[in-house]
Amino acid sequence: IMENRQSLSQITKNSLLGIERILEKEKPNMVLVQGDTTTAFAGALAAFYQKIKIAHIEAGLRTNNKYYPFPEEINRHLISVLADFHFAPTEKSCQNLLTEGVKRDNIFISGNTVIDSLFLMSKENYIFNEPLLREKKIVEKKFILVTMHRRENWGKPLRETCQAILKLIEEYSDLMVIFPIHKNPEIRKNVNKILKNRRRVLLLDTLDYKDMVNLMCKSYIILTDSGGIQEEAPSLGKPVLVLRNETERPEAVEAGVVKLIGTNSKKIIEEVKELLDNKDRYRKMIRHINPYGDGKASERIVKRILYYFNLIDQSPDEFKVK
């Protein structure tokens, strides 16, 4: 469905029609919808139109600000209205659903499948697929990993972040920045304009998932607006500074391993310097605490579905933070 500069309406339409054809052909008993993307919403809507049961994985995440993140927050709400079963990753996401009137019997706290993937993909002696990362001298340096892709951060917020990166590189001669750039043309234009051909700034094309996970493992600090990375990095013991003002994943913020800092250039510099200069502050953020999962979410989800279809006798236990 990828087309140059397409609108959200075009993505929704193309996804809806494409998924409809698959559902008509395959006639599934249930459709699993993962996450909060526009394609996830289209998948749920297509299944609803066919009167097929819908199970939402990663259900119940909320900021309660319909434009932040945009359009994901409303996608989540709409999927929740359509879904028959809700696989909530945490107790807090379960409570969000209960507040909205979802019956507890239709909610199952599974943990998040992203942690399952993380454990599968992280390797101690990993060899990168990206040629520019195969050079050991690069990944053995102290580096900040940066990712930005959210629509609300296009334009000025992205430019402010890039300006902050420049100032940090100038001040810390032993510091490097690695920035895999999203494929969106607007993001690429802004990042390249400010950071291209700068010393100790490595701009990369979008990485495959294995490379990304193992690059996180080797990073010193992560700057990101990604929801997934907010969940993954705590398991790796990496401090995450979130380039957003609100998050639908408050659990790691409350645990002290993730911090919301926004996209103001001065604030970014201040927060990164605090971690670079204050060892006690850094140590407090690298505790291996992950409230989002234990690597067994997928197994729980499969067993719960089998139990629903009377294919096993006992429902699995829900995920609990240890």
Question: Which residues carry out catalysis?
Answer: 36, 58, 72, 149, 151, 182
Tokens matching residue 296:
């067994």
Q: Which residues are 296's β-sheet partners? A: none
What's the order of all strands across the beta sheet hosting 221-224? 201-204, 175-180, 142-147, 221-224, 240-242, 258-260
Residues contacting 313, CB < 8 A, separation 6+: 307
**Given phi > 0 = left and psi -120 to 50 = alpha, else beta, which region is 310?**
left
Is the previous residue joined to 291 through a cis bond, with omega within 30 degrees of 0?
no
Comparing C-alpha atoms, which of 287, 267, 288, 269 is closest to residue 277?
269
Please give the backbone phi and psi of residue 107, each rounded to the nearest 5 degrees, phi first.
Answer: -115, 140
Give the count of alpha carbons within 13 A of 294, CB side only.
10
CA distance 62 to 67: 12
